[in-house]
Chain A
Amino acid sequence: MSNTTAPKRFPMAWFYLALLVAYPLLVYPENALFRLTEISIGMQLTYIFIYAILALGLNVVVGYTGLLHLGIAAFFGIGAYITGILTVPAYPFQVGFIAALVLSTAGAALLGVLLGAPTLRLRGDYLAIVTLGFGEVTRFTLRNLEEITAGTRGLNPVPPPQLPGVLATPLSWLGIQPDWSLDYRLFYYLALGLLVLVVVLLTNLERSRLGRAWVAIREDELAATCMGINAARVKLSAFALGCGLAGMAGCLYATTLTSTAGPDAFDFNRSIIMLCCIILGGLGSLRGTLLGVVLLIGFDNVAAPVLDGLIQGANINPNGNPLLTFSNWKLLIFGVALIVMMRFRPEGLLPSRVVEEELVGYAPQPRGKLLRAR
C-alpha cells in the first residue's frame, strides 16, 4: 500500500526538495569548478526540472497505462510553439506567461485526444508506429509552415514572465535580481515550483480511481473492461494528461530558452531519450522517473561538459585528440549503462511500489491500520 509506506518515504522527499530550494541560494556565484566549464549547474538543473515534467507526462501514458508512445517530443514541441506564437513580439497576440502556459497545456492535451481517439483501439506495436509517425509529421509540419513558425530558425525572442510586484521585496531579501535574463534563479524556482505541483497532483491521481483504472488497463485490458471500466475513455484520459504535461514542459522550455528552438529540437531522439529515462528509473514509478531524468539528462547536460572542462583545464589534451574528449564517449557509456541495466535490473532503478513490494516480499498489515492509513 502506498499509504503505509508513505510516512517512511516522505522525509527523504522533503529533504531533497529542501536541498533543491536551498542550492541556488547557497552556491551563488557558482564555484570555480563549474565556472571553468562555462556552464551553470543551476541553469542545467532548470532544464532537468523541465524534462522531468515531460518524463512524468510520458510516464502516465507508458508507465501507468502501458501504451507505448514514441512521439512525446512532438507534444513538447507543440507546447513550445504554441507559447512561441502567442508570446513573441513578431505576432500581435503577446499574451502573458500564465495564459500561454494554460493554452499550451490545453492545446497539447487537445491534440493528444485528437490523435488518441481514432488510434487507441490499436494495440502495442501499432500504436507505437502511429505515435512515431505523428511525431515526425509534427516536426515536418513545424518546419514547413514557414510563415507561422519561421521554419528551421524557430520563433524568438519568447519574453520572460511578468514578475508580480508582490514578489519584489522577498526576492531582494534573498539577493535575487528581479530580471529574468540576469538571474537564472527565477526560472529555476518557476520550473521547480511547477514540477512539485505536477508531482503532487500525479501522486494524488495515482492513488485515485483513475490511477487504478490506468494500471488495470495495463495489467489486463479484458479483465478491466469486465469490471465495468470504459477502456477507451481511461486510455484517452491518460493520453490527454500525458500530452498536456508534455505541452506544459514545452511552454516552460521555450520561455526558459527565450526561443522555441528549431523543429529539430523535437525529433525522434528526444522521444527516445525520455523513454530511456522512465525505463531506467522504473516504469510507472514517480520517483523512478525523476531519478531517471536526473541521471540521464544530468549526465548529458552536466556531467559530460564538466568532465570535458576538467580535461581541458588540466591540459591533458592540448592537441584536441577526439578520443580524449569525454563528450565523444557519451553515447557509448549511455548505451553500455542501459545494456547493463537491462541485464541486472530490468524493472528499473526505483521500480513502482508494487514491483518493489514484490522484490522485498510483503509484510502483513493489521486491518485497522490499513484502513486508517490515509
Chain B
Amino acid sequence: MAILKLDKLTVRFGGLTAVEGVDCAVAEKQIFSIIGPNGAGKTTVFNAITGIYEPTSGAITFEGRALERPLTWRVLAMCALVGMLTGLTAAALSVDVNALWRATIKRNYAGPGESFSSRAAVADGWSYLQGSLALDHLRGDRWAVRTADGRRTLGYAASLDEASQLRDRFNRLIALAVTPDAVREQGSKWVVVDPDSDAELASFDSAEDAQAVMDKYAAIAREPAARRRMALATLVLGIAVGAAGTWTVWHRARRTPEVISRAGIARTFQNIRLFQNMTVLENVLTGMDRHLHGGVIRMALQLPGIRRQEQKARDRAAELLEFVGLAGKATMLAKNLPYGDQRRLEIARALATSPRLVLLDEPAAGMNPAESLELNGLIKRLREQGLTVMLIEHHMKVVMGISDHIAVLEYGVKIGEGTPEQVRANPRVIAAYLGSEEVS
C-alpha cells in the first residue's frame, strides 16, 4: 500500500517549469530514492511535498488523503467572529469618542465624592448615539436642554418638568425643521405651528431670523441619520473585510509546512537548517514541540505536570541523540558541531516530530566514505523502526546500496523508475548521466 502518492505533480515558477507531471508511489517501509543530475527538480519535489511550495497542479496524497487543514465549523465561526469584531471596531471609529465620553462619563459624574450611575451613563451614551436631546442639571436647580454631545445648548428651564416640556417642544421643532414651509407669516411675526396640535412652537421677528434658527434645527435633525448611515456603512464594510481577510489567511495557510509536519512527514534540508544558536538537545526538543502541551501560565509557573512532561521529552531526546550517534554532545551549540554531526542532528530533529515518513535531502553530502557507510546503517535502522524513508542522494554507493526503489528525474520530468538493477540498466538514465552515444 502506498503511503505517499504523487499524481502528475507540476510546479512552475512564473514561466519556469521545475517539475512536470511526476507520478510516484512510495510504499510503506520502503527506502525510496530520487536521483538525477543537478537542477532536475528533486528538492522542488520535496518542497512541494512538505508544503513549502504550492503545487501548480497535481495531487499529493499521504496515507490516502490530501494533507490540508480541514474546513471545520470552528474556521467559519472564527471568520464570523473576526468579522464582527472588525465591524464593531470600525463602527466605533466612526463615533466621536471625545463627545461620547463627554456625554456618558462627564455628564454623569460631577467630581470626587459625587454619585455615578452607570445605568444613566449607558442611557446617555445610547441617546447620544441616537442624537436625541439631553437634559443637564445645572447649579441652583436650573436645567439646560442640550444636544446629546453637549456642544449646543438650546434653552434653559427652572425645573425638571419645565425642562422636559422644553425638550418636547424642541424635539417637535427639530422634526418640523426639515419639512418645507414650516415657518408661516402671521401678522408681523413669523411663526412655527405644530400641524397636529396647532400650538405655536416658536415665533420670530423677521424671516431671516426664522430661517437661521430653523436651519440650525435642520442641521441637528439631519445629524443622527448621517451618523447612523456612517456607522452602518463602516459596520458592514468592517464585517466584510474582517471575514474575507480571515478566510483568505486561513485558506492560504491550508497547506503550510506546519500542517504537513503534524500529519507525520518530517524532513531534513540540503543546506543544513539547524537552529544554530540553540544547543543540540534544544534542537531536538524543538522538534517535539507538538507533543508537549500546557498553556502559557502553566509553563510560566513550571507546574509539576509540565516538569514531568519536560523530563520525559528530555529522556526521549537523549534516546534520539544516541540513536543517531550524538550521545554526549547534547550541550554543544548546533553550529559548533562538525558537518557530519550537523546532518545527523537534522535527522534526529526530524525524528523528534514522530513522523511516519522521513524525507532526507542529500544526507550524505560532504561526508567521507566511512561516514556515508555509517549513514547507510542509520537509514536502514530507520526502516527497521517502521519508518518510510524518501531520499535525495548523489552518492551512488549510498543510493544503490540501500534503496528499494529509485525514481530518476531529469529537467523536472521522470525518466525512469524501478529497482536499483532496473535503473542501472535503463538506457535513458545512462544517457542522462553519461550522455548518449553518437550515432552516425
Interface residues, chain A, with chain B CB atoms under 8 Å away = 1, 4, 89-92, 118, 145-148, 201-202, 204-205, 207-210, 212-213, 215-216, 219-220, 222-232, 237, 241, 354-355, 357-358, 362-367, 370-371, 374
Contact = CB atoms under 8 A, between A and B. Distances in A.
Contacts of A229: 258, 286, 289-290
Contact of B289 (A223, A227, A366): A227
B269 interface: yes
A354 B261 contact: no
A224 B52 CA distance: 12
A145 B98 CA distance: 6
Given A90-B111, A209-B289, A209-B294, A216 B245 contact: no
A175 to B, nearest CB: 32
A304 to B, nearest CB: 35
B224 interface: no
A204 B256 CA distance: 30
B213 to A, nearest CB: 28
Contacts of A228: 258, 261-262, 287, 289-290, 353
Contacts of A216: 275, 278, 286
Contacts of B285: 209, 212
A212 B257 contact: no
19 contacts: A90-B111, A92-B108, A92-B109, A201-B301, A204-B301, A205-B299, A208-B299, A220-B273, A220-B274, A222-B273, A226-B258, A226-B266, A227-B287, A228-B289, A228-B290, A237-B296, A354-B333, A357-B331, A370-B281
B302 A204 contact: yes
A259 to B, nearest CB: 16
Contacts of A205: 296, 299-300
B306 A208 contact: yes
Contacts of B311: 371, 374
Given A1-B279, A148-B97, A374-B310, A223 B333 contact: no
Given A148-B98, A374-B311, A227 B349 contact: yes
Contact of A358 (B257, B328, B335): B335
Contacts of A209: 285, 289, 292, 294, 299, 310
B306 to A, nearest CB: 7
B257 A222 contact: yes
A371 B279 contact: no
B97 A364 contact: no
Contact of B331 (A210, A222, A364): A364
Interface stretch (B99-107, B386-394, B401-409): B99-107
A366 B99 CA distance: 69
Contacts of B256: 225
Contacts of A207: 310
A79 B415 CA distance: 64
A234 B205 CA distance: 72
Contacts, number: 164
Nearest to B295: A210
Interface of A (DSSP majority class): helix
Task: Give 5 closest A-B pairs by Cβ, nearest first.
Answer: A92-B116, A228-B261, A208-B299, A219-B275, A89-B112
Nearest to A223: B273
B310 A145 contact: no
Contact of B300 (A145, A204, A355, A374): A204
A147 B261 contact: no
A237 B105 CA distance: 34
A223 B299 contact: no
B278 A370 contact: no
Given A212-B286, A225-B261, A228-B261, A146 B307 contact: no
A351 to B, nearest CB: 10
B332 interface: yes
Contact of A354 (B108, B277, B286, B302): B277
B165 interface: no
A260 B296 CA distance: 30
Interface string B296-332: 1001111000110011001100100000000111111
Contacts of A357: 279, 331, 333
A224 B286 contact: yes
Nearest to A226: B257
Given A90-B111, A92-B108, A201-B301, 7 more contacts: A204-B301, A205-B296, A212-B278, A227-B352, A358-B277, A367-B330, A374-B307
Interface string B375-414: 0000000000000000000000000000000000000000
B130 interface: no
- Residue among B276, B289, B294 with most chain A CB within 10 A: B289
B42 interface: no
Nearest to A363: B331
A118 B86 CA distance: 12
Contacts of A223: 269, 273-275
A159 to B, nearest CB: 10
Contacts of A4: 331
Contacts of B331: 1, 4, 357, 362-365, 370
Nearest to A220: B273
A212 B285 CA distance: 8
Nearest to A211: B299
Given A209-B292, A216-B286, A358-B277, A92 B105 contact: yes
Contacts of A219: 274-278
A222 B314 CA distance: 24
Contacts of B282: 212, 215
B56 interface: no
Contact of A215 (B277, B290, B296, B335): B277
Contacts of A92: 105, 108-109, 116
A148 B258 contact: no
A118 B242 CA distance: 10
A333 B251 CA distance: 53
- Residue among A208, A210, A358 with most chain B CB within 10 A: A208
Contacts of B262: 228
A83 to B, nearest CB: 17
B44 interface: no
Contact of B105 (A91, A215, A222, A224): A91
A148 B310 CA distance: 48
B38 interface: no
B332 A362 contact: yes
B288 to A, nearest CB: 8
B147 interface: no
A210 to B, nearest CB: 6
Nearest to A208: B299
Contact of B267 (A213, A226, A231): A226
B436 interface: no
Interface string B202-226: 0000000000000000000000000
B50 interface: yes
Contact of A241 (B257, B290, B296, B310): B296
B336 interface: yes
A216 B276 CA distance: 9
